[in-house]
Structure 1
Amino acid sequence: MSISITQTISRAFIFGTLILLAVNWIIFRSAILITENTVNTKRLNEVSEYHLNYYRDGGKGTKQVDSLTISYDEFASLPNIIQTHLPESWLGAQSMHFDEDDSEYVIVAKKIDKQTYYLVENSRASEWSDDVFLMIELAVIAGGLFLVLCARFYIVAAANKISLPFRSLAKQLDSDEAKSFEALTVEGHATIELKQTVTAINDYRQSIARSITREKSFTRYVSHELRTPMTVIKGATSLLNRLENEKVSIQTSRISKAVDDMNELTQTLLLLARESNDDDGEIVVDDKLIEQELHDIDTYIQSNECQVDYQILSAFRLPVQPTLFKTLFKNLLINAVNSTAKGQVSIFLDENQLSIIDNGIGLEAQSRGYQGFGIGLVIVEDICQKYGWQFSLVNNDTQGCTAKVTFH
């Protein structure tokens, strides 16, 4: 599914921002927890000397220093959960969280006169509760989302401004006026890169227009110029036929057939050079038409000793210039026959497509005989392009190849 530049930018922004929010939330949560533990540990370690002076002055046993802090003069007096997770030889200061009862303590262990004394503070009681911490997290996330929404409106507006020239260019390229090869322009604030792109496209379009004009002019001029010598050849062969010489008649017949083929090719080129398909008319595709086309190429069928059969479901009308359809059909059929010596060619026709299947040499080998003046398949492709038909020529799974033209 295709999406616009605005949608692409907006989606990229939202996706990237959500990832950034998630990362920031993780960093924020970790920073709060680390900060709490670090501050509590450093504070208790700093005041531990003052509280442990009790033991330096000769005090013994466990003492309640304040509502959160208790001092111990031996390891065995510590809470059981601390004894379980802390080695008896350990010295220092650290914060410990215990998943068993979700408790958290800051512990300081120091030696005084070769005896280890402990200061334990219940840090859980002085920290934010889970509910308060959750509310703060939700507030941070909500604030982030609010900023994202605000930023999104700005991003969408900026993306629309950026994409406006591209939409204008795409609209022009998709319009009927684009076919006239007029110079393209862009609306809105165009970037340097877009201006360079439009300039390159216009130069390329003008080059194509000049090439098409030259090709069509050449085709028209050459086609018209060929008619004069072909008329002269036709007249000469008519005069030679009056000699009633059998050998001469055979050669004049071949000349006349070649002139007819050239005349058909000339007419085809002229029709392809026309600007539009208006008033092209239509052709009735039926058994009579197929039989006539097979009769016209009977020489090729006989010389290749090829069997040709056809199947047409029912007669139908096809909106196409009759000469062009006949040229297309004949070129495809001659190509199949010349590739299938002593083989089989099958024709299938309906209102949707034409299929010509042979069991000949396939596409890799070179067919013999008539080559359609070397441009047979090129003309087929040009005719299909003119009417928007789909043409394919592929090898069969076993032998030979299939030429297919889809009319719709």
Structure 2
Amino acid sequence: MKSVPSAKRLTFFYFSIVAIALVTIHASVFELTKEDIEHLYGNNRLQANEAFALRVFANADLTGLDKVELPREEISEVNRPPVIYLNWKNLPPGFPDPDTLALNEEREVKFSPESEERAYFMKKIDLPAGGKTYHALLVIDNTLFEFSEEQLLGAHAQQLVVSLVLLAISLFVVMKIAERLTNPISRFANTLAEKSPDDLEPVDVPKGTATLELLKMVETFNDYQARIRDLLERERAFNRYTSHELRTPLMVMKGAITLLGESKDEAFIEKQRQRLEKATGEIGEFIETLLTLTKAVEGAELIPRALSEEELTNIVANHQHLLNNKAVEWWVKVEGDPVIRMPEAAFHILLGNVIKNAFACVERGVVSVVVNSEGIQVCDTGPGLYGKSSASEGFGLGLLLVRDICHRYGWSFELKDNSASGSSGCTAVIGFAVAQNTGEEVKG
């Protein structure tokens, strides 16, 4: 596996790129600026002295002169006066042949006569004087600027050193900041690596600088852990419910088979056959519904069908045995012509589990089932949501399957305690999908 650099290493790498770029730009700007200033300075001096010579020597007689100096500045070894050469033979050694220069062409020359490096700017001009026009060479000693340039380079070197020191300090500060920001993340990663697969408890925010991103990361991870924990608990409860749901019809089938082998009475045999048929039907419906929940919703499952009072009564009556030895009555009321989009097997398991939960919770009183075009309400007069006994837990697990079926077909399911309305017990409210009343297709 290819190694992945750490955040500190990446920070150092990118900061180094920026530092090198800044130093390069700094040096380049200095070099380019220095050259531009030198040429601008030399050209401006040439133009100024040319204008001065044209004005001063307009009426002067320069016949027989080899050169004319223009002492307009303070004279020193590095600041010699401008000179106009009229005779090319008197040019100092090292100068180019003026005949090779074009008129008004400006040129810079550098050479080292007598082991002393000097620099000049020159320009070939026409100099009118005394009624004549002379081909002259205007020469300006630029050694003073070259000397100043060396001083400027020294100053620039000092600035560069200061810049490098500042960059080093900045790098140190940036690395410290990166360390403070990344250390909590490293601790968080180590904490996760040390957690066992069965440990789904929330993780505390690691010590160190707590940034908004780190807090969001820990919060998201803990939420994810909580969802996994809820899923596992729900799966365990669902498995318990499944075993309970299958065990009852299997016991009925086993008992019926045993009784069939001990009797030859046709009426008794027919009764046991009906018990077997009913038990196998319940198992078949339950398995079919479980398998359906694992697949996407198909159009064939959403064919509208009407709910009749007879179908609803049969579903409730199938669980009448849960009321044995209980002073409980039940009734079914259908308002209007309710229409649903759900397979018959899934609907029977859905409503059957709600009925079983109600029958298991109530000891005396009434269980009512009211159905209309908006949904179903199953109300009981039991102890309510907060007074259920552990004996009803097995049937309460069936509500997990109820919620799954409702979620699959876009229905809603809610348990409400009746204490808010001043009565006892609770009410299970099943809401039909809005789409099924508007003709839209329900999607899983």
> Into which bin does the TM-score normalised by the smaller protein fall?
0.3 to 0.5
Q: How does the TM-score come out when normalised to structure 2? A: 0.43
